Amino acid sequence: MSVERLEKKATIDLRKKHVGPSCKIFFSHDPIKIVQAKGQYMYDETGQRYLDCINNVAHVGHCHPDVVKAGAQQMELLNTNSRFLHDNLVLYAQRLQATLPDKLSVCYFVNSGSEANDLALRLARQYTGHRDIITLENAYHGHVSSLIDISPYKFHQLSGAELSPFVHVAPSPDVYRGKYRADHPDPAAAYASEVKDIIAKVHTKGRKIAAFIAESLQSCGGQVIPPVGYFQQVAEHIHKAGGVFIADEVQVGFGRVGTNFWAFQLQGADFVPDIVTMGKPIGNGHPMSCVVTTKEVAEAFMSSGMDYFNTFGGNPVSCAIGLAVLDVIVKEDLQGNALHVGRYLANLLEKQKEKHALIGDVRGCGLFVGVELVRDRLKLTPATAEAQEVIYKLKEELILLSADGPHRNVLKFKPPMCFTGEDADLVVEKIDLILTELEEALGLKLPNTVTIENDSKKRKLSTDENGDQYPNSLLHSREGSPRVPQQTKHLKT
Ligand SMILES: Cc1ncc(COP(=O)(O)O)c(C=O)c1O
């Protein structure tokens, strides 16, 4: 059977005609048609192989045979809802729980990260009897109405959008670009006291906090690693106010950070959230997700009198797939691989930072690494267009990487966990070449200074559709096709 059923142009035309125009596509000017994938590689309709540095969903590798087999075998036998007893559901719940602190013992199975976070809000509100939510700047927690409200990453894209009265936004604990930086004597306490201040303000309005929600490491927000101790102190303030702490592990869970299975554990063994939400990697591409919480929260949810039913959540096929994913992580020591290859990748990138003025910061844990590009290391001027240029040039080199963060200037690595040291060598070698070329064109040298005087060798600045400035010659590829404007909107994965 041919893996391509339509000519690429027909696929594009049908998509334009029948798929909502707000469903954006990667590299919209020259989209890639992927027809097959294996491990850390994706293949287009011509058989061209791309190195995948962005798909944290294909956690144990695209189309891992053990996962495919587990799903297919269970599909041949039975798939039905969780109102019937089935061993896969309870065995999966037991296996998942074994990766978590004891207190987090009760699971609800759902089908997407958004469903998981929406349910987490319901649990928090029912348990606390409160309504208000504290979220972080630049956070993204999902696409349903309840989550767009608490996702500044999204609602800031709407012109004239107003914050709902029950949503309160705390500063992102970003020690590179945020309000309190690495040179602050105690950024964890400083960021946590911002949350405390918000709680106090909320109380003066007669409102009450149900939950603080944060990704354990901010992903769309720009690969932000919160300072250790921040979550403990936030949890203390939140608990005092009668609220709960929700850790969103939809992007960063399941061993990606290398040292731990869950990214919230990077804060220390003394931190345990009240609710953890999971998604993307949990089913290696199969749509499943989960909310795990304490007995107390689950009992309060039960006491509402309303039962919880989810047609697809926790079905035998999803749970068979989930079990296979956990098995492969252990069998292939993918958490260990994330630790070693992640460190190797971060070291290679750190060396590039010594060489390239455009690299302002390299940060990460395991195979979750961010490289923040700046035009000036002192002013931290975001190198947005340059980041887009890197992404597009890498695509020409058959490497898929994305850029995100509030300024879309953070190159984000979150590849399948089977990513190798050779893969890291290749992508960093290409980034080195691209940055060398860009810096020559821009006249950027270490120590970093932005030179935009009228020098024929240096590029002029212009303004993109979002008001960001970028060198206008970056708008064109070697073939002269316009590129950057198509990528100026956030494209999350
Ligand atoms: C941190 C985080 N939470 C939740 C979601 C929502 O997950 P889904 O797209 O599966 O609904 C996403 C999706 O990108 C996410 O990045």
Confidence of residue 2 (pLDDT cuts 50, 70, 90): low
Instruction: Report the SS3 class of residue 117.
Output: helix
The answer to whether 295 and 320 have CB atoms below 8 angstroms apart is no
Structure tokens at 58: 């294909």
Ligand 1 atom with the smallest distance to the CA of 215 is 1
Domain ranges across the chain: 8-60+334-487, 65-331
Instruction: Report the SS3 class of residue 361.
Output: strand
Nearest CA to ligand 1 atom 4: 141
Structure tokens at 418: 């089977």
Q: 77 pLDDT exceeds 60?
A: yes
Mean pLDDT of 406-428: 98
pLDDT in tens, 95-107: 999 999 999 999 9
Most informative mutation of 246, 250, 251, 291 for ligand 1 (most atoms within 8 A of CB): 250
Q: What pLDDT score does 477 carry?
A: 35
Ligand 1 atom with the smallest distance to the CA of 493 is 14
Q: 161 pLDDT exceeds 80?
A: no
User: What separation in Å is there between the alpha carbon of 365 and the centre of ligand 1?
Assistant: 20
Q: Maximum distance among all alpha carbons in the chain? A: 73
pLDDT in tens, 428-477: 999 999 999 999 999 998 874 444 343 433 433 333 323 333 333 343 33
pLDDT in tens, 218-276: 999 999 999 999 999 999 999 999 999 999 999 999 999 999 999 999 999 999 999 99
Nearest CA to ligand 1 atom 2: 141
Mean pLDDT of 47-67: 98
Nearest CA to ligand 1 atom 9: 113
Average pLDDT, the chain: 91
Identify the residue with better confidence: 56 or 490: 56
* Rounded distance between C-alpha atoms, residue 401 and residue 331, angstroms: 27
Q: 85 pLDDT exceeds 70?
A: yes
User: What separation in Å is there between the alpha carbon of 158 and the centre of ligand 1?
Assistant: 19
User: What separation in Å is there between the alpha carbon of 481 and the centre of ligand 1?
Assistant: 32
Confidence of residue 488 (pLDDT cuts 50, 70, 90): very low
* Rounded distance between C-alpha atoms, residue 90 and residue 93, angstroms: 5
Q: pTM for this one?
A: 0.92
Ligand 1 atom with the smallest distance to the CA of 113 is 7
- Note the Cα 323 to chain centre separation in Å: 23
Q: What pLDDT score does 157 carry?
A: 76
- Cis status, amide bond into 171, omega within 30 of 0: no
Q: What pLDDT score does 452 carry?
A: 39
Q: What pLDDT score does 127 carry?
A: 98
Instruction: Report the SS3 class of residue 360.
Output: strand
* Rounded distance between C-alpha atoms, residue 462 and residue 467, angstroms: 9
Identify the residue with better confidence: 488 or 174: 174
Instruction: Please state, for a pLDDT cut of 90, what percent of the chain lies above it.
Output: 87
Q: 112 pLDDT exceeds 80?
A: yes
Ligand 1 atom with the smallest distance to the CA of 279 is 10
pLDDT in tens, 297-320: 999 999 999 999 999 999 999 999
**170 beta partners:** 136
> Which of 201-215, 271-285, 347-361, 459-473 is the least confident region?
459-473
Nearest CA to ligand 1 atom 8: 113
Q: Which residues contact 255 (CB under 8 A, 6 or more apart)?
A: 261, 329, 334, 335, 338, 366, 417
Q: What pLDDT score does 446 carry?
A: 85
* Rounded distance between C-alpha atoms, residue 385 and residue 469, angstroms: 8
Residue type, 322: G
Angle between helices 316-331 and 334-355 (to 10 degrees): 70
Most informative mutation of 56, 138, 252, 280 for ligand 1 (most atoms within 8 A of CB): 280
User: What separation in Å is there between the alpha carbon of 278 and the centre of ligand 1?
Assistant: 9
User: What separation in Å is there between the alpha carbon of 359 and the centre of ligand 1?
Assistant: 28
**Which of 168, 179, 281 is closest to 227 using CA atoms?**
179
- Residue list, ligand 1 pocket, CB within 6 Å: 112-114, 117, 140-143, 215, 219-220, 248, 250-251, 279, 492
User: What separation in Å is there between the alpha carbon of 138 and the centre of ligand 1?
Assistant: 13
Most confident of 2-6, 131-135, 488-492: 131-135
Q: What pLDDT score does 470 carry?
A: 35
Mean pLDDT of 313-337: 98
Domain 65-331 has CATH 3.40.30.10: no
Ligand 1 atom with the smallest distance to the CA of 112 is 10
Identify the residue with better confidence: 493 or 47: 47
Q: 30 pLDDT exceeds 60?
A: yes
* Rounded distance between C-alpha atoms, residue 47 and residue 70, angstroms: 27
User: What separation in Å is there between the alpha carbon of 142 and the centre of ligand 1?
Assistant: 5
Q: Which CATH superfamily is domain 8-60+334-487 in?
A: Aspartate Aminotransferase, domain 1 (3.90.1150.10)
